[in-house]
Structure 1
Amino acid sequence: MALDHLLDPPRDVAPDDPRVGVLAHNERLLTVPTVVTLARTVGAVALSAVAAQQSSLVLLVAGLVVYWIGDVLDGAVARALGQESRVGALLDIFSDRLCAASFYIGLAWLQPDLAPAVFVYLAQFMVIDCLLSIAFVAWPIRSPNYFYVVDRRLWLWNWSPPGKAVNSAIVAVLLLVTGSMWVGLALALALVVLKTASLVRLLRLGLPVPGST
């Protein structure tokens, strides 16, 4: 039932609904989930840096695991403690980019033959996906996790549990498991297409204009 709820969230929710809307008392930088975000970012980046210095794929993968576990944990802590905030969501989005860049650049450093796939993936993740992710601030919702109240298809493609897994994990997993640049490049290009389609849909949707009728 819990998975069903994640895959098919309620349809009768408006952006200003208290279940998804901004909670002013949570909008502060120093909270338990933001501390978790900062800690996992420092840990992941530090491990990636040491991995590059020591030419250690094991340490690089350890940094990736810290990034992924921390990314799940900070969101779970925020929901459990009732501390979800737009500040925390934005910090999480930008921290994800730093962690991902540290891992993928480290991977290209250690395995230069994978560089084309790595940099195509990073191009879409650092630019297109980042733009999509921060667009939630145009609406009065707490994070992209609640974008289904704005557009369910965009949410499904980008911020549903399957969408997040495809966007943030599958390229890294396939590159590490297969060692094939071509497999990684094909998937990275597919993500470019998906993210570009998402961006076009977002532009067609239009950003809300305060006070408009």
Structure 2
Amino acid sequence: MSFDPSKDLEPVAAVARVLVFLVTSPGFPAKDAKEFLAQLKARPGKLSFGSPGNGSSPHLAAEMMKSQANVFATHVPYRGAAPALTDLLAGQLDFLFDPGVAMPHIKAGKLKLLAVGSLKRSPLFPDVPTLDEVGLKGFDADTVFGLYAPAGTPADFVNRLNREINKALALPGPRERIAALGGEPAPMTPAQFHAKALEDGVRFGKLIRERKIVGD
């Protein structure tokens, strides 16, 4: 059965902008993102990174970094984020891009947070630079999670649901929950959400084709 999200789904509301954080194992010999990139360049193919699986957003973020920095590192795909994080904590991996799962370990000082993979810094870590700031100009691996309805859903229902979701995103509870996971509330109109989805599709689609990425 063929399925085309751009035709078969109706954008309703964005919920959260999900940031990815560049984190390294505790003993990795780099104190900041610039030193980390220098290590990658000096040791081509010697460093490894994990992800929750081929084609996952952390995998795409790492491939984006490899492409823009013109470096090579070995990808180790896992069946989910938890086992990848376990091996990073144990020093079996050198780094990974984390979408928020590692927050407790970062805050506890068990992992080193070197950079944010977006165009703006995270409010949770205002002193941590973005990869754009340390030399990878335009680096943006953010994704947006949201709610869709079947194509053909009446516009008045879509707009009403959008307004209610945006109201909820302004409340302290949802905002705090999203922030605890490393994200940010992303209230948008249905049209803005649709435009963002198309923009992300073009950006990540180009990366997937260029890097010949095949999902699990």
Q: Same fold (TM over 0.5)?
A: no
Larger helix fraction of residues:
1
Larger strand fraction of residues:
2
**Into which bin does the TM-score normalised by the smaller protein fall?**
under 0.3
- TM-score, structure 1 normalization: 0.27
- TM-score, structure 2 normalization: 0.27
